[in-house]
A and B are shown apart, each in its own frame.
Chain A
């Protein structure tokens, strides 16, 4: 690929401080992800895949190495600039959906637009469009607790997309869902990746979910163990 990478890490590492001293969670990760890619990150628990996602999402600060997002070194940005980046460059989808329970679905979807400084009328219009797109246009005034997990995750995806990011980071988005609902959610990701060219990176430990991706990255004990096409992963066959 001759395009500039949307994500580039060079020797990225993260240590966690414990009473016994720093424990490395992630070591020497160097990889590039290009616009329009659909990447699945796999690995056993404690392999560092969630840590890696948090670093990519600018939610956490690396202990070592460099992380370039859209060519900008994240290390040089302050808290407010990072917040800005999370707001307009990245959309998050979490395993636990993470909708705000008190406000209705429309307001949940519109939330990133509040922080982006978008006016009320436009906020509501765009949020409604996104809800329509994920098939929940009629439920805008419901509270998150009144709908199913699959529906909540679709709302979360609508929220992730509402400020038109180029990158979606999904941390085990189907972890709490049954197989059929998982498929629906994965179809949504595939659709946005193919139709809008949005880069999707998702963490999963289910091979059939990873199969939706084009590229697979596997972590083992904080190291990069595999990076390549989905089908060629020799370790993937073993649990």
Chain B
């Protein structure tokens, strides 16, 4: 019975093709917009999530802070106040998983006839752990390399591309500031950071090497910042307090004195960014949903016209034994079919639009099965909701009046 009714609904849709198409247009645009916006929103969220994962989770950055000398206040990191010993002390606090001191600087690299200027980062092996950074080739340097300040380096992908091209860099020797460094490993690609920097354009060396042999004059036994990884998101507030307390103690700061360092919760920042992306896509989705509503009203409008036009047909059906619910079901199926057909085209339009956005505007898009399923569920609901009133109107007709209708 349902099968026969579906066939008739299909025929009814085919009878007035232009009208059916125009009715579907509302659904197409609405569903297309929802799919497109969900794709862009999810794409943005995916990017943010990836950036968070690339940054490492539960992460603090302790920056060496401003100091005041003769009434002149210096910017953050201007005065190196943090030491490797500070990092060591932090790593012994409860709730801390890993600590990586960081002494960055810029240097010119040379290999053969190629040269490249990039950021050189002095740190410890735990840096890779904190940043959740894998090696794609070779091995990381060890704690004994840090102790003896050996000239070893890990290269980022961008650096490898610029210095070595297709050559395998592991085991080769490059020159940094004219001193030879042994390349022990290559960092796995990490992509852009949240602020758009190329994270692969970097060289990692032991922190002691950076301090003593590369940027000696800049960092006399000090580091620019210390990366700290807490054991869990829940442990972060307590860890932040204890780091502050510990460092103030170690730096012998008076009760009222300003801290000469700063603790930043990076995960919280990233989460804010993720939350912003989520709220944005939700709001845009809500706006797109309004066009679905308008599409639904269009369906109701046309179904009401259709019911009136087909009054005589309804009369004939009632005369030969259709019950109220048969008529109701028939018209309801018709509006659901229009709605779902519009949805199918809309999903195709939305996916096409998303891919086009990706291709032309280089925008991250992510089409998930759940958003497509959601679109279908909403379309069906719209069909039922806006089709019900016209269908009920059809079903409630009196047989004799419907038959007499010209």
A interface, CB within 8 angstroms of B: 54, 57, 59-60, 79-80, 83-84, 86-88, 92, 94, 98, 100, 102-103, 111-112, 114-117, 120, 123, 159, 163
Contact = CB atoms under 8 A, between A and B. Distances in A.
B403 interface: yes
Nearest to A83: B323
A94 B321 CA distance: 15
B78 interface: no
B6 to A, nearest CB: 12
Contacts of B294: none
Nearest to A171: B403
Contacts of B312: 98
B15 interface: yes
A103 B11 contact: yes
A60 B315 CA distance: 12
Interface of A is mostly: helix
B275 interface: no
Nearest to A110: B4
B12 A102 contact: yes
Contact of A83 (B4, B8, B318): B318
Contacts, number: 65
B313 A100 contact: yes
Given A103-B8, A103-B11, A54 B320 contact: no
Contacts of B318: 59, 83, 86
Interface of B is mostly: helix
Contacts of A92: 319-320
A59 B320 contact: no
Nearest to B325: A80
B313 A116 contact: no
B320 A120 contact: no
Nearest to B3: A120
Query: Which of B318, B321, B324 has the largest count of A CB atoms less than 10 A from its CB?
Result: B321
Contacts of A116: 321
Query: Which of B5, B12, B317, B320 has the largest count of A CB atoms less than 10 A from its CB?
Result: B320
Contacts of B191: none
A115 B320 contact: yes
Contacts of A159: 320
Contacts of B319: 57, 59, 86, 92, 98
A150 B4 CA distance: 27
A111 B317 contact: yes
Contacts of A163: 321
23 contacts: A54-B400, A59-B399, A59-B400, A60-B400, A79-B324, A83-B318, A83-B322, A83-B324, A84-B323, A86-B319, A87-B322, A98-B403, A100-B313, A100-B316, A102-B11, A103-B8, A111-B317, A114-B4, A115-B321, A115-B322, A115-B323, A116-B321, A123-B4
Contacts of B145: none
B326 interface: yes
A102 B317 CA distance: 13
The 10 A-B residue pairs whose C-beta atoms are closest, nearest first, are A87-B321, A115-B321, A60-B400, A83-B323, A59-B400, A59-B399, A112-B320, A98-B316, A86-B321, A80-B323
A159 to B, nearest CB: 7
A57 B323 CA distance: 15
Interface in B1-17: 1, 3-5, 8, 11-12, 15
B213 to A, nearest CB: 87
Given A59-B399, A114-B1, A102 B15 contact: yes
A102 B14 CA distance: 10
Contacts of B322: 83, 87, 115
B395 to A, nearest CB: 10
A80 B324 contact: yes
Contacts of A79: 323-324
A126 to B, nearest CB: 14
A79 B400 CA distance: 13
B399 to A, nearest CB: 5
A115 B320 CA distance: 8
A38 B134 CA distance: 95
A110 to B, nearest CB: 8
